[in-house]
Amino acid sequence: MKKALLLVFAFLLLAVSVPAQTAVANAKDAPKRIALTPRSTVPIALLAKGVDDKCFNVVLTSDASKADYPLEAATIQGFSVYKGTGGSSVRTEFTLFSQNGDVLFHTSTRFYENAMKDICTSIGLGIDDIVKRHKIMLGMSPKQVRASRGEPKDIQKRDTSSSDQREVWEYKDQQIFFEHGVVSGWSN
């Protein structure tokens, strides 16, 4: 009788713990959600391409109540002087907030895709998760890229001054750019 009770107890314990572990794993893999704040002047459609192309496990949502991070994206018309000529310049300011309103990240750019890549990197997954998923991110070392993507088919060293070290790693589907020993960008 004791053995039967012990077996039933072990079975019940196993039945409860497996779904709990699965729920934790699924919560970790759930995408991070970003919603534009009401003060944003940039349409979500313009930001969507940057998220699709440059972000991993991050989605834009129109439902602010489901967002992990509010994002303010505002276009600002300004005046700039370039090589002695005056003219107008349009820049977009991006500010990412925590759910309690603290500023987590800010950048100013003329290109939405670059800003979305930086924002997604700032809230993205840890380096171990990125390597496991065979992805890359800004600031990765060559060792981390090899762990994530394997050996490149070709490495090109750029002819620059000795203080400015640049390389391009060629993969079948991607080029990865390094400056000063870390990933500085990529193209697909």
Written as six digits, the tokens of 111 are 């290109």
**pLDDT tens track for 106-130:** 888 877 777 777 787 777 655 666 7
Written as six digits, the tokens of 41 are 């002047």
Mean pLDDT of 80-107: 73
Query: In this predicted structure, what is the pLDDT of residue 181?
Result: 84
26 or 123, which is more confident: 123
- Return the sign of the alpha-carbon dihedral for residues 137, 73, 48, 80: negative
Architecture of the structural domain at 132-188:
2-Layer Sandwich (3.30)
The residue extents of the domains of the chain are 32-124, 132-188
100 or 161, which is more confident: 100
List Cβ neighbours of 81 (8 Å cut-off, separation of 6 or more): 87
Indicate whether this model's pTM tops 0.85: no
- Percentage of the chain modeled with pLDDT above 70: 70
What's the rounded Cα separation, in Å, for the pair 188 and 112? 17
Is the pLDDT at 13 greater than 50, yes or no? Answer: no
